[in-house]
Amino acid sequence: MTALVAPLLMVVMAEMGDKTQLLAMTFAAKYRTPQVLLGVFIGSLLNHGMAVGLGTYLGEIIPLGLLGVAAGFLFLFFGVLALRQENDDEEEGQTARFGPVATVALSFFLGEMGDKTQLTTLTMAVQYTAPLMVLAGAVAGMMIANSPGILVGDKLLRKVSPRTLRLISSVVFVGFGLVQLYESLGAGPRTWAILGASAAAVGLAATLILRSQHQETGAKGQANEAA
């Protein structure tokens, strides 16, 4: 029983205040709660399943630094993508194209790669000789730790305008992306050059998208006045 309870408690404590809690809240403000819960479950199961299954050989098979860089650019992409959802019809189209469950699952899978919660699970897997129990405890801990953020995000959706939520979501993802890149690449001139170029590219894309939206809004307003 300890092989189940110990990972659960350790993961809950390690996840408190982690970036993925805020990610869960952001996703819950965008997608339906069951979709976010399922995505968190799948992403956590894959991530911590990898930690349990591969153990100390993980770094030799899949470099954590490379996955961290991929996660950083993915967060930047999500940040730009969040600005493009202008109305309910378009949001439904984006959801159908990318899939909310897959988006949440992939974000959690990459966001937790090399994180303290994954390392905690790896340590528990080495300590105990019950991999399935360790995996169950770790995933349960992730669900317990992230459920409050998901519930808060669901409540937030009912009080904040969709445009504001899109802006908040974009800022959160871009911020996480830049931090993830910095942590994965390490301090140095090359890292700052990559961060600067990435921020400039995201800023340019965001400016073009917001300008396009403003022009479309103005055109619709003129059309309504003419009608």
**How confident is residue 193, by pLDDT bands cut at 50, 70 and 90?**
very high
pLDDT tens profile 68-127: 677 678 778 877 876 765 444 444 444 445 688 888 888 888 777 767 677 777 767 766
In angstroms, the CA 27 to CA 116 distance is 21
SS3 label, residue 210: helix
Q: Look at the block and give the residue holding tokens 């949001």.
A: 91
Burial of 25 (0-12, 13-18, 19+ CB in 10 A): buried
pLDDT value of residue 93 = 46
In angstroms, the CA 132 to CA 145 distance is 20
- Which of 5-9, 204-208, 213-217 has the largest mean confidence? 204-208
The pair of three-digit structure tokens given for residue 104, joined into one six-digit string: 């949440």
Backbone angles phi, psi at 161, to 5 degrees: -65, 150
Amino acid at 171: V
pLDDT value of residue 51 = 79
| CB 178 within 8 Å of CB 66 | no
Closest CA to 3 of 164, 125, 97, 141: 125
Q: Is the pTM of this model over 0.75?
A: no
Q: Helix axis angle, 19-28 relative to 162-185, nearest 10°?
A: 150
Q: What is the mean pLDDT of the chain?
A: 75
